[in-house]
Amino acid sequence: MTLKARITEDMKDAMRAKDTARLSTIRLLLAGIKQREVDERKELTDAEVLAVIDKMVKQRRDSIAQFEAGKRMDLVAIEQAELEVLHGYLPKQLADAEIDALVAEAIGTTGAASPAGMGKVMAELKPKLAGRADMTLVSAKVKAKLAAS
């Protein structure tokens, strides 16, 4: 079963269970997937669906930070609930040690020795870590590693 099919089935289950919060998040996700399919004029693969989910997760994190700064805890709770639903579709997240090992491997593969090589390292890591790690955290790790060398 493709990821998109699983999301569609989960939407039907949420409808049957009358779980409005989950249903609204899943509908938002399916709308994002559909929009990207229309824009690109093709059926999305699981990896591309993961990229859509990843983007939505990042948007939720940014919104939570903004709402916390504005002391809008009611909106923070809504965004966190949406974040939980979205996390259910992402693959298992990698541990810090695994991310560090992949960063070191990518630096070795690309031969980057300074922060100027960060783009090459991130290009190497992105396909391996998409949906499995917070790319902002990965970027910070790469930057720190390259600055230290």
The whole-number mean pLDDT for each consecutive block of 10 residues of the chain, a chain of 149 residues, reads 94 96 96 96 91 92 96 96 94 89 90 87 87 85 86
- Write the CA distances from 126 to 60, 110, 129, 130, 134, integer angstroms: 20, 13, 5, 6, 10
Distance CA 131, CA 50 (A): 6
Which pLDDT value is given to residue 116? 87
Please give the structure tokens belonging to residue 65: 């930070």
| pTM, rounded to two decimals | 0.78
Helix (H, G, I), strand (E, B) or coil at 18: coil
Which pLDDT value is given to residue 55? 92
